[in-house]
Amino acid sequence: MAKRRIEHSPVTNLKALCEAYDYGKPSAFSRAMKVKCGNVVTIYVSGTASIDEKGVSLHIGDLKAQMDRMYQNVTMLLETEGADWHDVVRTTYYLRDIDRDYDPFNVYRCDFYEKVGLPFPPASTGVEARLCRPELLIEMEAIAMYIED
């Protein structure tokens, strides 16, 4: 039985983030992946944190500022493919210290969702994790879906 591959391609926004494989010590992942099945588009955003377009960690020690940059980066990746936060159906958040940071994280997250006008939040999971850089307090993944006309 022959198989057909589903169309997929990397998503890049170099104004927000450099590619991880362009780091001095390269990492083998795309920032996001666009997957098309007919006219249904799904965007899978890789773990994204408070990183600038040169790959430098920003806002050391400041959870809210790290979340603001993280959301900015994810927003710009979504916009590259014509998506926005209303298309996000799933998020996963990784917090370095869930006991210390969950309450302020949840406040900032609720504020952000209200600011972008979501009628209800996406499905979500919060996990305590050791992040890839010790200065990062939070990182997130997102899945967005929409129908392309």
Q: pLDDT band for 25, please (50, 70, 90 cuts).
A: low
Comparing 22-26, 68-72, 97-101, 124-128, which segment has the lowest mean pLDDT? 22-26
Query: Residue 144's pLDDT is what?
Result: 98
Q: Identify the CA nearest to 109 among candidates 76, 142, 149, 82.
A: 142
What are phi and psi for residue 122, nearest 5 degrees?
-70, 165
Top-tier CATH class for 7-147: alpha beta
Query: Residue 23's pLDDT is what?
Result: 60
Q: Identify the CA nearest to 69 among candidates 148, 136, 146, 149.
A: 136
Q: pLDDT band for 24, please (50, 70, 90 cuts).
A: low
Query: Residue 26's pLDDT is what?
Result: 62
pTM for the complete prediction?
A: 0.93
What's the chain's Rg over C-alpha atoms? 16
